[in-house]
Structure 1
C-alpha cells in the first residue's frame, strides 16, 4: 500500500511539473515573439513554437491513458490537439525561404481536422446528460449558440467574401471551412455554457477559455491573411499556444480519478448567456440597418431573437401549471386540490345514482426524526420516493395531492367506506417497503384518516377537517387508518387544546419528575432510582405519561421534554450526592431524541457541568430503537458508553424476538417488563421464563432488573432466581424527591432488613 501511495504521489508531482513547464514555455515563447523583430528566428519560430504545441499534446495523452481511453471527450480532444500540432510542424518545416506555403497543403488538413474532433469531444462531454434536461434549458442552450454564431458570422463576413473563388473549388472549400468551423465551435461552447443543469467537470472554464482564444486567434489571422499582412513571428502566434496551454489545464483535471464525478464549479447565473445572446442578436440586426451584414449573420440573429421569444408565448400557461404543482414531488398541490375537487364532488352529486366519494388524508409517522437525524435534504428525497409509491399504488381515477410537509390527500371518486379502507390498506402496504436514503435502510409508516362524501361533509373544507380528525385518531391509537365518526369531533378538539397546553407546559415549568427506587436484591440496599416525568396540569391535576407522551411525540416536543427531565434529574443527583447518597439515576430516552447525532455530546456536557461522574446517569432505551437502525444505535450507544454513561434496555422481552443485539451493542442492564413479573406467583411457566431470562442476562455479563414487583412473593422469587435489582409498588411508588428523601432517611436509621421485611413507602 505504501509503495502504491508513493507511486501515485510521484506521478502527481510529475504531472504538476509538466503543467508548469507548459506555461513556462508559453511565457518564453511570448517574450520571444514580442522581441522578435524582422527576419526568421529559429529558436523562437521553430523550437519554442513546436514545444508549446507538442508539450500540451503530451499532457492530453497522459490524461487519456489515465482514463483508460474510456472518456470520449478526453480521447477526441487529444486527437484534435495532435492533428493541430502535426499541422503546425509541417507548416514550419515545409514553407519556403519567403515563408510561403502552397494553399491548400497537408498542414491545412491537420488544422481543419482540429475543429470536428474538438466538436465531437464537446458532444461526448455532454451527450449522456442532454436527454435529462428540461426543454427550457435546451432552448436556452440553442439561443446561446445561435447568438454567438450570429456575432461570429458578422465578424467573419469579409473573410467569407474574400474566400469565395469559384475557379478554385478545393481552395474555396478549405478557406470557408476555417470560419465555419470556428462559428460552430463558438456556438457549441455558448450552448453548453447556457445550460446550468449540465455537470461538466472541474476546470471547465479553462477548456472554454482555450477554445475561445483559438477561435479569436483564427478570426484575427483570417483578417490579417485577407489583407496580406500576416507573417510568422507576429505576437498573434502566441494566442494559439495560450489556447492549448489553457486546454491542458482542463484535461489534467478531467483525467484524474476524482474528477469522474463531473461536479460542475460554474457560478454563472442561469439566464446570463441567453440574455447576452439575445442582446448580441439584436445588435447584429440593428447594425444591419446601417451597415451591410452577411446574410448568415442576419439569419442567425433573427433565429436567436425568435427562439428567445418562445417562452413568452407559453409563460402564462407555465405559470398556471407551476402554481398548481408541488415543487418537490411534482404532484398537484393544495391549490390544485381546492380547484379540482368541487367539480368532482358536484359531478358525483348530480349523477343519476348519486355516487359516493372519499377523501383520504395521509400523514407519515415520525417524519421529523428523519429530518432531525439525516437532514432536510434526505427528508425531501424520502418525500419524493413516498409520492412515487403512493401514485403507483392508487387506482387510476384517484386524485393525489401533496398538501405540504409530509401530508398527502387522496380523493377517490365512486368509492364508499369499503373501497376507501381497501385503498388505505394498499397505501400502507406500499409504504411498508424499505426506503434507501444516504446508504441507510429507512422504514416509515403512515396514519390515514378517511372522510366520506356526502355523509360526512358537503364540500372539500368539511371533508378535510373531518379527515384530519380521523387521521389523528388513527395516529394516536396507532391503528394505521380510521374512518371518521361523529365522536371524533370532540376528541379532535380535546387533542388540539391539549397540544397547545403541552407547549405551555414545556415553557412554564409544569413538568415534574418523580423517582422510583431500585433495590439490590442481594443486600436490600437502594442502588439507584428511575426518573419518571409527570405533568402537573393546572386544571386536570397530575397526569401520567400515558396521558400525554403520544401528543408530545406528535407535536415534536419530545426532545425538549427529554432535556427538561435530564436537567431536573441531574440537578437532583447533585443534591443527593451532597447528602451522601450516591445514586444512579435512570432516565428514559425516546428514539426521536437519540437519533439526534449531537445529543450524546450534549448529555456529556450536562453531566460535566454539574461535576457528576458519568456513571451516575443511566439511559433507558427501548428494543424498537435498537432494532430499527442497528448501525446508528451502535454508534450512539458506543459514544455514550465511552463517556462512562450506563445503558439499560427498558421493557425487555416486549419488542423484537431477535436477541442478537445483546451481543453486538454496548449494554449494561436489562429491565424485565412487568408483564413477565406479575404472573409469576400463579404461573409456573411464567416463573420459569423469568428464571431463564435472568440466566441469559448473567451469561452475557449483564445485570437484570425486574419491573412491576408488587408483592412479597414476586420479590422473594426474584431474589431466589438471582435477579440483581427490582423496582415496583411493593417497595415504593414513584414519588417526588422530597418524599423519597424522607424514605431514604428512614431506611438509613434501620439495620439492613431481610428481603421479606423491607420497609415500604406507600
Structure 2
C-alpha cells in the first residue's frame, strides 16, 4: 500500500495539467495517506507517507494558484471559454450572446495601449449593466460573451443583448481622441438535447463577418501600414459624427432622355465636406461606410435629403425622378421598404418619384433579400435599376435574381466605345438585351460627344455623364433643367466635325 501511495504521489509531479484532471482524486488520496499515518504511525513509515502527503499538498496549492490564471482573461480578468461552457452545460438551456468589439483590432494596428484601454472600458460598462445572475466571459481579445440562463425566452434575451450593444456604442474619450465604438452582436439559443455548447459557441462566432476594405487605389506601398490603419480608423470615427454635425451634402447628376430632349431626373450622389480635411472623395469614405455599421443611418439621411429635393422640384413644376443608391448593409434591414414608404409619405411623394439603384454585385450577393425588396418597392410604383451592369461575375444571373426596370451600362464599357471593338460588342449586346426584355438601358460615364453619338446611333436612349453635366447642387441642377438650349446643343453636336475626328 505504501509503495502504491508513494508512486501515485510522485507521478503527480509530472505536471499541473495532470493535477487539474486528478484534483478530486488528489484530495481523496491525501485523506487516505493521513488515515494510513494514523493507523501505522509516522515513525514506522520512515517519513515516506509524510513526504507523499507534502507533495500532494504542494500539487493542490499549485493547482489552486494556476486555475484562476488559466480560466480568466489576462487583461480584463473575465472568465474565459471554459467557465462559460461549464455554466451552459449546468443550466442546460438558455441564450448565448456574443458582442464583437470591432474597434479593438483596428486600434491595435497602430495603438495597442489605446486598444487595451478600450477593452477595459467596454468590460467595465458591460459588467455594470448585466445582472449578477448572468455570466460575462471573454472569448478572445475582441469578443465578449453573455450567458442568459433558462429563465428568459430567446426573443427577450436577444432584445437585451441588442440593447447592451447599443449602449456600449456611446462615446468614449481617450485623451484628446473621441471614439464611438462599433459593436456588433449575435445571439444563439442553446439546449443540451440539441447539441454541445462548444458547437453553438463556434457557430455563433463564425457568423460574424468582418469585411475588408480593398480599394486598390488607396494602397500605397511607401506608407506605413500603421499610418494607414490610424487614418482609416479616424475617418470612420469622424464619419460617425458627420450626420449630427451636418457635414454631408447631396449632389445631383442629370439623367438625360435623348429621345425627348429632356432631363428625366437625377442620380443623388453623396458628398462629405470634412471641417478640417475638406472634401473627402467618395471612393475613400464609401467603402469605409459600407464596411462598418453606418450604411443604414447615412442611407436613411440620403433618402430623406433626396426626397426633400424632389419635392422642391415638383413644387416648381418639374416632374422629375431621383435615383438613390442602396447598399448591401441597408438590404439587411427587413424594414427598408417601410422606411422608404414612410419617407415618401413624409414629403408627400408617390412611388413614381423614386428610383432605387442596386449594384449588380449587391443584387447577386443578397439574393432573396434583393428580390423581396424589388417586389415590395415595385408594387408601390418605385422603379428598380441595376447599376454597373456587366461588371459582376454573372450578369445574366442578375436578370433572374430580381425584377427591375433599368440597366445601367458601366462606364468601363462606355469609355472610348467609339474606338474599342470589345466595348462596342458588349454595349451592343446589352442594348439588344434591353430591347428584348422591354427594359430601359442607360449609359453612365459618358464624357465625350463621340461616345454619346456612337451609343445613340446604336439604340441607346438614356445617358448620364460629364459630357452633359457634372454632379450639381440642387439649385444648379434646376438651372440646368431649365436651360433647354444648352441641352439641345449637347444632343445635336457637330456630327461632321466629330466624324472627321473619329476617322483621324
Instruction: Report the TM-score, using the length of structure 1 for normalisation.
Output: 0.39
Aligned to 1:755: 491
1:506 aligns with 2:243: yes
Matches of 1:751 and 1:555 in 2, distance apart?
Answer: 40
Which of residues 359, 382, 389 in structure 2 aligns to 1:652? 389
Which of residues 301, 317, 322 in structure 2 aligns to 1:580? 317
State the Cα deviation string for residues 189-214 of structure 1 (Å, max 9, x = none): xxxxxxxxxxxxxxxxxxxxxxxxxx
Q: 1:367-406 residue pairs with structure 2 within 5 A?
A: 376-377=186-187, 388=202
Which of residues 243, 247, 259 in structure 2 aligns to 1:522? 259
Which of residues 279, 283, 286 in structure 2 aligns to 1:546? 283
- How far residue 559 of structure 1 moved from its aligned partner, in angstroms, is 1.0
State the Cα deviation string for residues 359-386 of structure 1 (Å, max 9, x = none): x9999xxxx9xx99x98326999x9779
Matches of 1:691 and 1:752 in 2, distance apart?
Answer: 25
Which of residues 289, 311, 323 in structure 1 aligns to 2:72? 323
State the Cα deviation string for residues 211-268 of structure 1 (Å, max 9, x = none): xxxxxxxxxxxxxxxxxxxxxxxxxxxxxxxxxxxxxxxxxxxxxxxxxxxxxxxxxx
Matches of 1:687 and 1:476 in 2, distance apart?
Answer: 32
Structure 2 SS opposite 1:689: helix
Question: Which 4+ stretches in 1 moved above 6 angstroms?
Answer: 314-320, 360-363, 383-387
Change (3 A) 1:580 1:496: same
Q: How many residues align?
A: 330
Matches of 1:719 and 1:505 in 2, distance apart?
Answer: 41
Which of residues 579, 589, 595 in structure 1 aligns to 2:326? 589
Conservation of the 8 A alpha-carbon contact between 1:524 and 1:753: no
Conservation of the 8 A alpha-carbon contact between 2:255 and 2:265: yes
Q: 1:370-449 residue pairs with structure 2 within 5 A?
A: 376-377=186-187, 388=202
CA RMSD of aligned residues (A): 3.9
Structure 2 SS opposite 1:611: coil
Structure 2: which 5+ residue stretches go unaligned? 1-62, 74-79, 87-98, 101-139, 144-161, 167-183, 495-504
- How far residue 651 of structure 1 moved from its aligned partner, in angstroms, is 0.7
Matches of 1:653 and 1:574 in 2, distance apart?
Answer: 33
Q: Which has the higher contact order (CA 8 A, sep 6+)?
A: 2
Change (3 A) 1:478 1:514: closer
Matches of 1:547 and 1:513 in 2, distance apart?
Answer: 16
Conservation of the 8 A alpha-carbon contact between 1:529 and 1:584: yes
Change (3 A) 1:361 1:526: farther
Matches of 1:498 and 1:658 in 2, distance apart?
Answer: 33
Change (3 A) 1:550 1:664: closer
Conservation of the 8 A alpha-carbon contact between 1:329 and 1:387: no
Conservation of the 8 A alpha-carbon contact between 1:622 and 1:649: yes
Aligned to 2:353: 616
Matches of 1:544 and 1:525 in 2, distance apart?
Answer: 30
Structure 2 SS opposite 1:477: coil
1:680 aligns with 2:429: no
Aligned to 1:288: none
Aligned to 1:561: 298
Change (3 A) 1:552 1:330: farther
Aligned to 1:734: 471
Structure 2 SS opposite 1:687: helix
Matches of 1:679 and 1:329 in 2, distance apart?
Answer: 62
Matches of 1:384 and 1:592 in 2, distance apart?
Answer: 29
1:709 aligns with 2:464: no
Query: For the pair shown, which has the larger CA radius of gyration, 1 or 2?
Result: 1
Change (3 A) 1:688 1:478: closer
State the Cα deviation string for residues 87-139 of structure 1 (Å, max 9, x = none): xxxxxxxxxxxxxxxxxxxxxxxxxxxxxxxxxxxxxxxxxxxxxxxxxxxxx
Matches of 1:528 and 1:515 in 2, distance apart?
Answer: 9
Conservation of the 8 A alpha-carbon contact between 2:411 and 2:446: yes
Q: 1:58-207 residue pairs with structure 2 within 5 A?
A: none
Conservation of the 8 A alpha-carbon contact between 1:621 and 1:650: yes
Aligned to 2:436: 699
1:689 aligns with 2:444: no
Matches of 1:379 and 1:734 in 2, distance apart?
Answer: 49
Matches of 2:372 and 2:84 in 1, distance apart?
Answer: 32
- How far residue 554 of structure 1 moved from its aligned partner, in angstroms, is 3.3
More helix by share: 1
- How far residue 561 of structure 1 moved from its aligned partner, in angstroms, is 0.9
Structure 2 SS opposite 1:506: coil
State the Cα deviation string for residues 606-642 of structure 1 (Å, max 9, x = none): 1012111111110101122222242222112111111
Instruction: Report the TM-score, using the length of structure 2 for normalisation.
Output: 0.58
Structure 1 SS opposite 2:250: strand
- How far residue 688 of structure 1 moved from its aligned partner, in angstroms, is 2.2
Aligned to 1:725: 462
Change (3 A) 1:514 1:378: farther
Give the stretch that moved more between structures: 682-691 or 659-668. 659-668
1:636 aligns with 2:366: no
Aligned to 2:113: none
Structure 2 SS opposite 1:706: strand
Conservation of the 8 A alpha-carbon contact between 1:522 and 1:719: no
Change (3 A) 1:379 1:658: farther
Structure 1: which 5+ residue stretches go unaligned? 1-313, 335-359, 390-404, 407-430, 436-443, 448-474
- How far residue 672 of structure 1 moved from its aligned partner, in angstroms, is 0.7
